[in-house]
Structure 1
Amino acid sequence: MSVRHRENVLLLSYEDLQKNPRSTIERICQFLGKQLNPEELDSVLKNSSFQVMKQNKMSNFAVLPKEHMNTGFLITRKGTCGDWKNHFTVAQAKAFDKLYQEKMKGFPGGLFPWE
């Protein structure tokens, strides 16, 4: 986090990508110095969607030999933001919030969309 202002660092969040994929991809392109025409941008949007990537054997680890994978391991689950909250108990959520506040002290508020 301390290097987030460097010119060779781009800070992104999955939440931002889900909320506004087109502008996030445009930010990535600008960061990389790459200009996409509208058809290319549409193709990136389509092929980087959660559902398409979940089905793509090159992005879901389906091409890895079975001996390299744990049984039942999935690299993709739901593709929704904030689902982790559904798996925390109230006590775990409080402990996480406390630790998060402690570790993020000194960083500007709103740095992450899940705050």
Structure 2
Amino acid sequence: MYFEWFLKGNVIYGSWFEHIRAWLSMRKMDNFLLLSYEDMKKDTRRTIEKICDFLGKKLEPDELDMVLNYSSFQAMKENNMSNFSLLKNDVVTNGLNLLRKGTTGDWKNHFTVAQAEEFDKVYQEKMAGFPPGLFPWE
């Protein structure tokens, strides 16, 4: 049921496709940096360096190591400032876990083959006009 609602945009934050299209429409602007979680997981250090280059900031090796440490999935999962644990239950949907596993490709463990095909079909329709490969999904 939720899968169908998501594809139609009938979920609490609206259409994911419209949200992403709005952001991607700005991807060629100088003050816009497009990053993916998949790329960050493959090479976190390089992703942080890209962010630093974008911001015009040079980090010393020990500073970069500190950023790597504090931005790791485990550190953020344990940090009350980044895991919703400081919010009251009436503000956050009960049971919402913002930081689940920190892995990529887990959708394969939840989508059926038919759902994956349906998502691909809707994605192609809703994201028409954007270059293929913007998302490095596995």
Deviations 1:58-112 (A, max 9, x none): 1111122344233322111011101122111221111101111223333223222
Runs of 4+ with deviation above 6 angstroms: none
Task: Quote the residue 2:109 is aligned against.
Answer: 86
Task: Quote the residue 2:65 is aligned against.
Answer: 42
Provide TM-score, normalisation by structure 2. Answer: 0.77
Structure 1's 102 and 64: CA in aligned 2 closer, same or farther, altered over 3 A? same
Task: Quote the residue 1:74 is aligned against.
Answer: 97
Deviations 1:19-52 (A, max 9, x none): 1100100111111111110000000011101011
Gaps of 5+ in 1: none
- CA distance in 1 between partners of 2:114 and 2:86 (Å): 39
Provide TM-score, normalisation by structure 1. Answer: 0.91
2:82 aligned with 1:59, yes or no? Answer: yes
Q: CA RMSD in A?
A: 1.5
Task: Quote the residue 2:34 is aligned against.
Answer: 11
Identical pairs, percent: 64
Task: Quote the residue 2:130 is aligned against.
Answer: 107
**Aligned to 2:46, which of 23, 33, 37?**
23
Query: How many matched pairs?
Result: 115
